Amino acid sequence: MRVLIVSYYFPPAAGGGVQRVLKWAKYLPQSGVEVHVLTPDDPKWINSGGGLHV
């Protein structure tokens, strides 16, 4: 199984939400899950544009 975690915040940023995502990325592979994390280079950047297009 492969999982993509999308998060605004990831280390080196700090905070409780950061630690939660970090632990998921660290411990899910022990259960055979391939984890990838998608996060902005600068966690202060938040896109307030016209929405999400996939």
Band (13; pLDDT cuts 50, 70, 90): confident
Residue 43 has pLDDT above 60, yes or no: no
pTM: 0.67
Question: According to the model, what pLDDT value does residue 28 have?
Answer: 94
Q: Where are the beta strands (DSSP E) in 1-54?
A: 2-6, 34-38
**Pick from 16, 20, 12: nearest CA to 40:** 12
Cβ neighbours of residue 15 under 8 Å, at least 6 residues apart? 9
**Which pLDDT value is given to residue 9?**
80
Give pLDDT, residue 2. 95
- Amino acid identity, position 44: K
The two most distant CA atoms of the chain are separated, in Å, by 38
